[in-house]
A = this chain, B = another copy of it.
């Protein structure tokens, strides 16, 4: 049993396979005796006027109060008059940095075996401003917004992350040769912050070239920081190098020290409720949450159990070429703790 007063954390199981993989996290945390008490919140069935979305106001309040949470996949219901659930969370909680580590898993073979990088994505503005309009019939425009405040904030986060995580290079990814003002401002902010971290190697890489280098030689990269859409693209590309979004974790960092860890794969409605889903991404995300809470030992223990279960190869879910159920895979992890 745990002697510590438990920490309360918000849990959004999400839709589709969400509840099953959330169950897996709860089981592993119990087996590892992690002193967390979950406050569970499901996505609502009608639009909450206070959030303008199917997310309930109570669930956002829960994250604001606990300052820490874990989130499964949320499919945005179809229809007009409300906002995407994921975007609402990012906006409402001011989740300004999205941290997506990505490394080759020992024992799970892909074309690459030397990936070990972290994408840090600006998560509140850029191409995701939502500002769009029709100029005249047949001519539409979207606004990409870059601010000095948000750029400095995410750059600071990236350099601080590199320094405190023993990483020695930060690459800023941009297209400032074309978007001279917006990406130019982002670059300028990164340069300013870089000067405060002389011990960290700083480099600037154009987004198209970055993609080419990533598929040729991902080992060239360490920490990467970039505007919103590039982060969306580069993090998926990187995940692809090591097996896909089913294996990679993420954590959103918000103003005031909020941390919302999140599995960024889809809700896979086709296999929902069938005990077939791979809980690895959500489990790995929960490990990021534990690290954020300074539960380093528990984090390490769970992380190792996941990695060795996959490496042993006896219990793997179908997406990894195995035939284990979610429960069997989860049990195997618990046995490896």
Give every chain B residue within 8 A of A236 (Cβ-Cβ).
Answer: 208-209, 211-212
- Which of chain B's residues have a CB closer than 8 A to the CB of A178? 127-128, 229
* CB proximity to B under 8 Å, residues A97-144: 110-112, 127-128, 132-135, 137-144
* Chain B residues with CB under 8 A of A145: 135, 139-141
Interface residue ranges of A2-20 to B (CB < 8 Å) = none
Q: A132-B179, A240-B213, A244-B212 are in contact. Are A141 and B143 (CB under 8 A)?
A: yes
Whether A132 touches B233, Cβ cut-off 8 Å, given contacts A147-B139, A215-B241, is no
Residues of B within 8 A of A215 (CB): 111, 215, 237, 240-241
* Residue A185 is within 8 A (CB to CB) of chain B in the complex: yes
Copies in the complex: 2
A237 to chain B, nearest CB (A): 4
In the assembled complex, 12 residue pairs joining A and B whose CB atoms fall closer than 8 Å, in A order, are: A111-B111, A127-B178, A138-B148, A139-B147, A140-B145, A140-B181, A140-B185, A142-B143, A144-B144, A207-B233, A208-B236, A213-B240
Q: Which of A84, A127, A128, A185 has the most CB of B within 10 A?
A: A127
Are A142 and B240 closer than 8 Å at their CB atoms?
Answer: no
Does A245 touch B at the CB level, under 8 Å? yes
Interface centre among A110, A177, A209, A236 (most CB of B within 10 A): A236
Asked if A208 contacts B181 (CB within 8 A), the reply is no
Give the residue among A127, A180, A211, A234 with the most B Cβ atoms within 10 A.
A211
Asked if A214 lies at the interface with its beta carbon under 8 angstroms from chain B, I say yes
Contact: A142 with B237, CB < 8 Å? no
B208 contacts A232, C-beta separation under 8 Å: yes
- The answer on a CB contact under 8 Å between B240 and A211 is yes
Query: How close is A7's CB to chain B, nearest CB, in angstroms?
Result: 33
Q: Which residues between 223 and 253 of chain A lie within 8 Å of chain B, taking CB atoms?
A: 229, 232-237, 239-241, 243-245
Q: Which 7 A-B pairs have the closest CB atoms?
A: A138-B148, A212-B240, A132-B181, A208-B236, A215-B240, A211-B237, A111-B111
